[in-house]
Amino acid sequence: MLSAAWWAPSQNLFAGDWPQWRGPSLNGSSQDTDLPTTLSISGNLRWSVPLPGEGASTPVIVGNHVFLTSTDSSKNALIALCIDAANGEILWEKNRPTSSTYSIPYSCIAAPSAVADQNQALFAFGTGLLLACDHAGDILWERDLEREYGPLSLEHYYSASPLLYKNRIYLAVLRNDKISFFQKELGYNRTENLASFILCLDWRNGENIWRQVRKSEADGVENRESYATPIVMESDSGALVFSIGANYLTGHDWETGAEKLRMNYKLNDAVHRRRVVPTPVLTDQWIIAVKPRYGALFALDRDSLGELPYSSIQWEHAQYTPDTPSPLYYRDGIYILNDQKGILTRLNTETGAAAWSGKVGNNLFHASPTGGDGKIYCINLRGEVTVLEAGPAFKILSKTKLGGQPCMSSIAIANQCLYIRTSDTLYCFCDVSEK
């Protein structure tokens, strides 16, 4: 079985890339070294570039190109950007008109992150628009999931990012079976049941390879919704694509979509708004996932298959868990960030026991923690970046306020630099100014 500490999807990449939302190993970490410990606009800022509008997507970096989604309220447009990673120059942009301008706190229609390899990038938006371009900006293919499969009925816009694995794209569409509140405000009137599904597309042409309906008896406001991005795990028995939400963690055969694992994590449907936001993460031993709304983080054995009873859970951790940020697995530690209290906790990977907890900062955290070069990087909604030591004790190394709130995008690492998106600017910081 491949180790989650170094495993990366089989795709054409350069060393040091950040090709997907949670990075090259899908766990929030990078193997890059010589990363900044402190951030300084006058010191180690390599470049910054203003963005056309709001967005919550994380920068994706392959080679010398940064791919990013945004909005432009002045044009009522969705924007796909390609930026030079060396100097911040916007190399090209593509825009598509949108009528989805309904305002939702701490969310937007440019929340899903792009994915990319050496040849092309795929931009995804909360409207269901998928736009594939090569690195020169030529459009390769385009899809509109709402037009094809009905409204992406989630209360806070569709926000799951695509997963790229072996020239296939995987999308988890876990939605309400009826239209959401804000879609009613936009004039949608569809009333028939809407199926949730996992969709697999050909990376090269965007055509369907398979579509697997994902069944659930979950009921209540938001309880069918998930904002979590699928992840993939390779093993001797074949790769599985995992999805969480609507009361279940499921694992699907990467080639056919057939469901090979299903576990009910037991929620009370009488309690509403139990949508899932954090994306699962893999360790060498476990599949790690988080129950909704500050619920317990739990671990399943990586070899798990079949219809699993709740007793299959190997351990749980219930203190200072997140509602929104995804767990980070880095240097044999699991890190979780509590949104409201701003407390970061390192868990023992074997047992789930807390090794330490500490206050990272005030204000809400929606971005997920990022690990690299023995450090952990966190950013809160107000644009304050906290750098911590990824070690046996809680230790803050620096704090820097960039501003530009709300900051909802996780920090990306590539080319020995940090790529940090605020509400209005993309920054690139490096440890050495000559980089």
What is the residue extent of each domain of the chain? 45-430
Q: How far is CA 25 from the centre of its chain?
A: 12
Question: What pLDDT score was predicted for residue 154?
Answer: 86
Which tokens hold the place of 412? 């990306």
Report CA-CA distances (Å) from 123 to 163, 191, 196.
12, 29, 21
Hey, what amino acid is at 345?
A: T
Which of 57, 58, 66, 70 has the alpha carbon at shortest distance from 17? 66
Q: Token pair 């990272």 is at which residue? A: 360
Any idea what the Cα angle at residue 295 is, between residues 23 and 390, rounded to 5°?
Answer: 40
**pTM for the structure as a whole:** 0.93
Question: What pLDDT score was predicted for residue 188?
Answer: 57
Q: What is the CATH number of domain 45-430?
A: 2.130.10.10
Any idea what the Cα angle at residue 231 is, between residues 326 and 415, rounded to 5°?
Answer: 75
For 2-39, what is each residue's pLDDT tens digit? 333 334 454 655 668 999 999 999 999 999 999 999 99
Mean pLDDT of the residues in the chain: 91
Helix (H, G, I), strand (E, B) or coil at 148: helix
Question: What pLDDT score was predicted for residue 75?
Answer: 85
Pairwise CA distance, residues 49 & 51, whole Å? 6
Mean pLDDT lowest among 31-45, 158-172, 179-193, 365-379? 179-193
Higher pLDDT: 268 or 340? It is 340
Mean pLDDT lowest among 79-88, 151-160, 325-334, 342-351? 151-160
Which tokens hold the place of 376? 């952990």
Question: What pLDDT score was predicted for residue 9?
Answer: 55
**pLDDT exceeds cutoff 80 at 183:** no
Hey, what amino acid is at 179?
A: I
- Cβ contacts of residue 434 below 8 Å, gap of 6+? none
The two most distant CA atoms of the chain are separated, in Å, by 58
Question: What pLDDT score was predicted for residue 6?
Answer: 36
| DSSP letter for each residue of 349-375 | TTT--EEEEEE--SS---SPPEEETTE
Helix (H, G, I), strand (E, B) or coil at 323: coil
Reading phi first (left if > 0) and then psi (alpha if -120 to 50, else beta), residue 407 is in: beta
Pairwise CA distance, residues 321 & 394, whole Å? 17
For 217-270, what is each residue's pLDDT tens digit? 887 678 889 999 999 999 888 999 999 999 999 999 999 999 999 999 976 555
Strands 306-308 and 259-264: parallel
Neighbours of 182 (CB within 10 A): 18
Pairwise CA distance, residues 419 & 25, whole Å? 17
Question: What pLDDT score was predicted for residue 181?
Answer: 57
Report CA-CA distances (Å) from 291 to 13, 131, 268, 355.
33, 32, 12, 21
Give the chain's end-to-end CA distance (angstroms, integer). 37
